[in-house]
Structure 1
Amino acid sequence: MKRHIKSKIVWLRLLMCISTICNSPFLLCGQSVDSLEQLLAEKSLTDAARIQLYYDLSWAYKNIDVNRSIDFGKKGLVLAQKTGDSKKEASLYFNIGTAYYAGGTYDTAMIYLEKARTLADKLQNYRQQSSIYNAYANIYNVQSLYEMALENYFAAVRILEDHNDTQGQAVLYYNIGNIYQRMENFEQAFKYFRITEELATDAGSQEVLAGVYVSLSNITFHQGKPSAVSVDYAHKAAEISRKAGDKYRENFAIQALAQLYSLHDDYVTAEPIARQALAMAKELGFPSLITPALVILADIYFQQGQYAQSVVLAGEALAIDSTDYNHTKDIYTNLAVANAYLGHPELTHKYMDSYRTASDRYANESYQKTLSGMEIKYETEKKELQIASLEQERKLSIWLGVACVAILLIALALAFIRYRLAVNRRKLAEEETRRLEQEKQLVAVQATLDGEAAERTRLAKDLHDGLGSMLSAVKINLPQVKGDAVLEAVDVSRFQTALGMLDDSIRELRRVAHHMMPESLLRYGLKISLSDFCDAIAIAQFHYFGSEARLPEKLEIMVYRCIHELVNNALKHAAGTQINVQLVQESERVSFTVQDDGKGFDAHTVSEGMGLRNIRQRVAAFQGKMAVYSSEQGTEIHVELELTNKDSND
């Protein structure tokens, strides 16, 4: 398993390398990027020449400085749109999209590529259409959406086939082969790499040919072909890159060659090739080349029993900032096992921990398979050591020590897992107890609220229908009592005052009865009843947002009572000049806020009164949340209530 993963590293890195073909960081069409930027300062440039410069700079910076590439592309785009140059507008949209792709912002890249495709379709520019589909596929490829990537690659191929563009087809078939190779469908990958080889040979595309031969060397190894076949492909890739003067891709081919000899256990041949690849990588100065070269050479030394040299090279690779998980994993493996052979248990333990941390960060399944492979390797080597010389017996003792450490770690891990399970079970039991207790409290609160609502309804009805009717009867009969009696002026005044006080009492009684259980709430809902309530208070203002759909009766009564209590609290204690009441009703939630500009209070030092506690209980009974914010500028109380499907449909 370990060697299978390592053999994939070489062709994956070459695939990333091929994606940068013809994007030199220093030259573009024989001119330096700096000289192109200097040309922009010339005032005599025509609009067409300036647009072309923006296009060239946007393309040149795509793999160097994504932000500058996007900036130049957008400046050119504005000028192209201003002059009506649709062809350059489409090209600049494409440049900006691929720059966002290079920077890893795939959603934005898709937006600009789609704009480019719309214009390319109108212009019937088949090369641009094909390039856009290829860019779509590249984005899906890096996201491991292989089916969508293949769909777009084939769409691009069909366009080029219609125009007999074999050079473009070679690149696309190479990309398709790489997709199948990543999916480990080696038969299909081999088929498309063969097609690519023929097309690239006819078109004279040496860079693509070099990539094809590196991939074929990997595929033939996995197909179990003779070692000479895969080695020959790697030699071809190195020779092509050497003749083209492309040391970067030549180094990848040499690394693939060293890897192949190592995988076939020919370490005598593999070692000098790997040293050559490492020296060349350091001379070129690319970390993406240096790291895999160090890993390959460290593994060769390890397989030959030269553990000290393997540790030195693996440590050097670890010091390089690499984001490649496969390399990091192989480095930690070499360091852990080599230090075990060297008799350094502390370092072995350290790198085993680092290995576990790296593995957990990425793929636990892959990590478990790797451990299984290491165990199989350990059992095999242990049997061989039992019949070996004294030196081999020493190595066996070291492996036994490593095994003991591993068993101890496993035992500790099992004990920790059992402990965590016990803790989790206890926490679940405690949470269940708390949940049941909370449900019990909520049932009690809900019952109290139901009783309170029923009692308020009864009292409101009694006050309105009973006492209200009696007072009205008294008002009707008083004038009759007066009759034709002659009263002094002072008595007339007192009589009229008494009638006025009686009218006030009747109105107050009706107001109290109305607020205890407002008829408008039961008939028309929260919006109208709260609007009536706030209209009756000079400093209160009511704001309503959202749907006017009716809520369950109990919920409407609870919201009304809470707002009523909060407004009364503000009137009694805040000493403010304005009270704002806001109600927001949506399909899945209801929220309300009562805010005043009064003197406020310190929530940390002042305990909540009975009113706020009652409101909290009511809100909790409906699984809502309440927040209180208070300062010298005033107080704001906000309540959120989630609506279930049942609530929203009632």
Structure 2
Amino acid sequence: MSDINSLLYKDFFNDTDVLHFIINSDYAIIQSNKIATKLFNINSGLPFDIKKLQAIKKPTQFFEIISDVFETKEKVFECYLIQDKNTVPYKVYAKRIEVEGLFYIICTAHTILDKKELEDQILKAVIETEEKERSRFAKDLHDGLGPLLSTIKLYVHELKSTDSSEEEKQEYIKYIIELLDEAVTNTREISNNLTPQIISTYGLVKSIDSFKNKVNATQKLKINFFNQDVPEDLSKTIKLTLFRIIIELINNTINHASANCIYIGLYVRNNKLHLDYKDDGIGFNLNDALTKGTSGIGLINIINRIKSMSGTFSFNEKLTKGVEMKFSIDINK
């Protein structure tokens, strides 16, 4: 068993928060580092039957996965450990090895609680955003169309009245037409808030350029927009998603960054559409923005929009001032 013991490099593996343990072909743990021994509560001695691991929430499922590893050689999976009456998610990497003609499985496991909490935050943010959109939409309908339609209804009732003269009725018809025109305009504006007409009419690049010019006209902030080889036939989802991301990023810079300049780059490289965003403002800590209060909901929504299209996101955490973010989307999917 000395060969197996040597695999663990005990001094190294014991001084870590990562669980390390070895399982033999009898499905028993034969070696474990300190934290694994503690969490699995196997102080009674080794070997220890993995089917008796009470610290694992679903021991039968864990046993089946380990059995499969003896056939498939390696596997990465998630399981839940019970720690201080709490259920904590772990990612496990299991690999089969052969020593002196016998098979063993070396396992390492680390907690992914932070990742799960972030996913929960993203899901919560999506739900909250959808609810806000519903509320905004309902308010726009109520405030924008409700009074107009109520007024139109009054004039229609007046048209039915026998007390009104023909001249008065013609005047009422004129007012009704004006109100209907206003209602149509309001409906169009509400619709544009859901899917901006500018995107459908002019495409992504011209829409960004138009918004950039409106901001630059204020002379409060300078936006530099670079674009190269951006296809005109991008899907509506990609165009709308990137447009909303850019508008949200600019809005964040205006409201929070105290910046003088923004750089936006949009270009294609290796079949991927890349978006680079930088500003020279005060910057922020990404982890704080994502975990503290509601200020990070906008950023979480941005990340979630990119993830919904299997895109990537990176944030330059080395900057002491300003913000630098990069996004990419595979345009061939």
Instruction: Decide which structure has greater helix share.
Output: 1
Q: Which has the larger radius of gyration?
A: 1
Where relative contact order (Cα < 8 A, 6+ residues apart) is larger, the structure is 2
| Structure 1 length-normalised TM | 0.24
| Structure 2 length-normalised TM | 0.43
